[in-house]
Amino acid sequence: MDVRAQIVMVFNLDKCIGCHTCSISCKNIWTDRKGAEYMWWNNVETKPGVGYPRQWEDQERFKGGWVVDGKKLKLKAMGKGPTLANMFFQPNMPKIEDYYEPFDFDYGNLAGAKESKDQPVAEAFSQISGKKIEEIQGGPNWDDDLSGSQVYAAKDLNLKDKKVIESYDSMFMQYLPRICNHCLNPACVASCPSRALYKRGEDGIVLVDQEVCKGWRFCTSACPYKKVYFNWSTGKAEKCIFCYPRVEGGQCNACAHSCVGRIRYVGVLLYDADAVEAAALKGDAELVEAHRDVILDPRDPEVCRQAKENGISDQWLDAAAASPVYALVKEFRVALPLHPEFRTLPMAYYIPSLSPVLSTWGDTHKLLEHGMIPALETLRVPIGYLASLLSGGNHAVIEEALKKLIAIRVRMRAENLGLPADPELLADAGLDEAAAKRLYRLFTIAGYNERNVIPPQQREENDPEKRRQEGGFGILKKTRRGGK
């Protein structure tokens, strides 16, 4: 057992209101400069929809992530031979049109236009070429709030049953905020010929060494989530850095700090680096459970002992024990990885969304059960859709999480209204009274320090440069040396 620490984020999709405050706060701090105009390290997509960049989930086109080759993993994009042949050309990388042509408006024309019979306008122009744009064709969330329409929803690869968007009463939509997942088995790190990308030993954050990067862009092709970008001005790769200057001081990420809906939880997970590769080799339906098995109990004395041998401080072990992320991911099993079938073992997790509580009562509603709260089989968001998004197609994993979320809703509504509670309700969902109260608090009234448990770095105990020179850890040792 090789115990390592990872800083992790969990998103509660049931609470995201799609305000994009997180995206703007990230943009203002990290990508508000030349060459990064089209980059959104944090973006919020409307689902079902095409996403950003367009169709990023289609790995038959972009060939990101890993595939199982016999008893080992290999990058889906290319091996050693094709890597050398495509050193100066990436056939599977998204084009600027797949993101969008970054644009601004000529506001100076409003004040400086010559006298005319017509009202002056602020015309759009490209932030790359400076040329006038006759018609804007896209943006970072071009289908914002339009996923209920057949035009956008039908293009979502996760939506297998197109019948749900054929009638107004069965259409649905939700928001999906995304950052770099800082995966345990990152394809971007394994694909880089110059070894510019690395995973930090002290907190698991994946970074790009700008001094080493040669701009080959293999990382952009290999990342299945398309969260590594190419700066056209500097010729270097860039990506979400998990706000590590803030995290090192014990503060949460800018996106989490600014989140209006308080949907984000940041904390520490301990995991077994020796088990990463074996977990990634599992079948699609087994990946979520294998992913959970990699995560270790921070209260286990043997785990703590080996963690200390690896240089993990008592402060980090205490943070792992108090982590809301561990409770949501491992203890209560309600937070799930995004597209686990990509086999990168992402370290960003999502609590699946539920249908809204009904605001009116009447015979016309089809969703009435347990009072005003929809039952599992009548949820507006299809379980098959959520399974394609969050569990590699495993419906049982989604149903387990949704049952718990519904049971908490029903139980707390009954308590708040003084109604009799079904004694079997929580037990059927795998919860007891204490667990339901704890989850309810995390979902609703938990304060900043409960939602974000981030220990500050102790540089005298953790030397990141030394860790990096040792070649990373776990599967990264093999992928770096093997050049896969």
Each residue's pLDDT tens digit, 64-73:
999 999 889 9
pLDDT tens profile 380-409: 888 999 999 999 999 999 999 999 999 999
Mean pLDDT along residues 138-161: 81
Total count of domains within the chain: 1
Which single residue is written with the structure tokens 């095409």?
50
Determine the pLDDT at residue 370.
45
Determine the pLDDT at residue 408.
94
C-alpha span between 221 and 64 (Å, rounded): 6
pLDDT for 264 beyond 60: yes
Flag whether 446 is in a domain.
Answer: no
Mean pLDDT along residues 210-223: 93
Flag whether 420 is in a domain.
Answer: no
> Could you tell me the pLDDT band of residue 417, with boundaries at 50, 70 and 90?
confident
Least confident segment among 139-143, 306-310, 337-341: 139-143
Mean pLDDT along residues 158-169: 82
C-alpha span between 89 and 276 (Å, rounded): 31
User: Does residue 10 contact residue 351 with C-beta atoms inside 8 Å?
Assistant: yes
CA angle 220, 244, 389 (to 5 degrees): 50
Long-range CB contact pairs, 283-286, < 8 A, 24+: 284/340, 284/341, 284/392, 284/393, 284/394, 285/391, 285/392, 285/393, 285/394, 286/394
Flag whether 29 is in a domain.
Answer: yes
Closest alpha carbon to 99 in 189, 228, 196? 228
Flag whether 464 is in a domain.
Answer: no
Query: How many residues comprise the chain?
Result: 484
CA angle 145, 47, 208 (to 5 degrees): 110
482 phi and psi angles, rounded to 5 deg = -80, -20
Alpha carbon of residue 305 to chain centroid: 31
C-alpha span between 147 and 273 (Å, rounded): 39
What is the overall mean pLDDT for the chain?
Answer: 88
pLDDT tens profile 430-441: 999 999 999 999
Among 163-172, 328-337, 463-472, top mean pLDDT goes to 328-337
Closest alpha carbon to 131 in 152, 103, 156? 103
Tokens standing for 31? 């990508």
Mean pLDDT along residues 79-107: 81
Least confident segment among 31-45, 85-99, 224-238, 357-371: 357-371
pLDDT for 58 beyond 60: yes
Determine the pLDDT at residue 213.
96
Determine the pLDDT at residue 84.
64
Host domain of residue 23: 1-98+140-352
Mean pLDDT along residues 205-230: 95
pLDDT for 476 beyond 50: no
Q: What is the CATH number of the domain that holds 15?
A: 3.30.70.20
Mean pLDDT along residues 84-109: 85
Closest alpha carbon to 226 in 96, 316, 135? 96
pLDDT for 483 beyond 60: no
C-alpha span between 75 and 55 (Å, rounded): 19
- For every residue of 250-317, which 3-state class applies, written as one string? CCCCHHHHHCCCCCEEEEEEEEEHHHHHHHHCCCHHHHHHHHHHHEECCCCHHHHHHHHHCCCCHHHH
C-alpha span between 30 and 432 (Å, rounded): 43
Determine the pLDDT at residue 166.
79
Determine the pLDDT at residue 375.
76
Determine the pLDDT at residue 35.
95
pLDDT tens profile 349-376: 999 998 776 655 555 545 454 456 777 8
Flag whether 78 is in a domain.
Answer: yes
User: Does residue 121 contact residue 84 with C-beta atoms inside 8 Å?
Assistant: no
